[in-house]
Amino acid sequence: MSFLTTSEKTLESTRKSFIEFGESVKLENALYCSICKYIITSKGLLEMASQTRWGQPIPNIFFAPIRYILLRGS
């Protein structure tokens, strides 16, 4: 039996979101897949990403500003 706090459950749920997202994009977007692999090891990034409103796709919301900044210069 696992006794996780609400915060730990939230972080684990966020981690799973990034694992699933990374797996789903690994063939067409190696960069996002690599970033997901890094995010799941970083408590700070998971905490930041977990602040997404309920029901929102966490990785998509997290990557949107990154994509905007990267493409802004093109």
Provide the whole-model pTM. Answer: 0.81
Asked whether the predicted pLDDT for residue 1 surpasses 60, the reply is no
pLDDT in tens, 18-33: 999 999 999 999 989 9
Mean predicted lDDT score pLDDT of the chain: 87
- Contacts of residues 17-25 at CB distance under 8 Å and 24 or more positions apart, as own/partner, are 17/49, 17/57, 17/58, 17/59, 18/46, 18/49, 18/58, 18/59, 21/58, 21/59, 21/60, 22/59
pLDDT at 5: 65
